Amino acid sequence: MRNIRNLFILGLSALVLGSCGQTDNTSKFDTSKNITLYTRDTTSGTRDGFFTKIGIEDAKTDDSKLRKGVTQTSGNSDMMAKVANDTYGIGYASLAGVVEDTTGKIKGLKYEGVEANEENVLNETYKLTRNFNYIIRNDYASDDKKGLVVKAFVAYMFSKDGQRTMKEADGILTISGKDWTEVAKDYESVLKDSTLNFEIKVGGSTSVQKMSQKLTSNFAALLTSKNVKFTHNHGGSGDAYKYTQGADKDSTNKLDIAFLSRELKDTEKAAEGTSGRMCVDAIVPIVNSANPYSETTAKDLVAMYSVDGKNDDKVDCGMYTKWSDVIK
């Protein structure tokens, strides 16, 4: 995946330019300043994956487990924007979002000595990862044409063509299975129906938003009818089950297709055959590009974020409040 591979190249280029007399913003970094912590809201799949993997799982849904003063962000883009505008900030974001950043104001950190990229995710040496998942409604009648289109979309998503689209949107996966031309034969009745005229509502994770928009756009082009409209409203992974099969599935915010950047919870019981894994994504700890800090560990992140400096195993990781605590 070209964008992800370019992370290393861009980082190397910046290092070379810095050694050739370019202004080095990191030389002005004041390590005596407090660390500003950023997190996502408690419904976020990215938050779930981040705190689970670094070892303070309760913090994924409980703000009281975090250090006082942590700033909450509304989504992946908001997280990156806030860190980009805070020299002393640290947060975390989807790799799929980080590689698309064009501001040059944030940088991804190595985690446990390993860089976040496609190769390291697939060979499982980069450990800060989570799955991208989907869920659809389960209450369509057997002859409901909207339901048949939704099922055709899911089939497209898992065809080689759909998998290529996910990969182009920085999803990490190994392409396999059947070409769409072969899979499409099972859905000809709706694919060729020129009378279709309805809206399909899509939402869920903000981390999966770009990928889902590419998927629905490419799939819509395969329909004979041009009156099937996919509309996106992504409020976070917490919306996925809630608005497809949960308590608010028939509310004004109801969804036909939704995406999560985490696993379904034990309390989110999806009907059989209505959910599954799409691909893998890395979660990347991020700092402002003016920060000389370049790699981190679970221990350091717990020491920054945890209210008592302890992880799930009650190991005391320390209490880091200033950048001088981590930049020696």
pLDDT digits (tens, 9 = 90+) for 299-328: 999 999 999 999 999 999 999 999 999 998
pLDDT recorded at residue 100: 85
pLDDT recorded at residue 99: 87
pLDDT recorded at residue 258: 99
pLDDT recorded at residue 25: 58
Which stretches of the chain score pLDDT less than 50?
7-24
Task: Say how far apart CA 191 and CA 181 lie, in whole Å.
Answer: 12
pLDDT recorded at residue 4: 52
CATH of 2-7+34-130+282-325, one of 3.30.70.3190, 3.40.50.150, 1.10.10.60, 3.40.190.10: 3.40.190.10
The DSSP bridge partners found for residue 242 are none
Q: Where in the chain are all domains bearing CATH 3.10.105?
A: 131-280
Q: Where in the chain are all domains bearing CATH 3.40.190.10?
A: 2-7+34-130+282-325
Which CATH code for domain 131-280?
3.10.105
pLDDT digits (tens, 9 = 90+) for 219-245: 999 999 999 999 999 999 999 999 999
Threshold 0.85, pTM exceeds: no
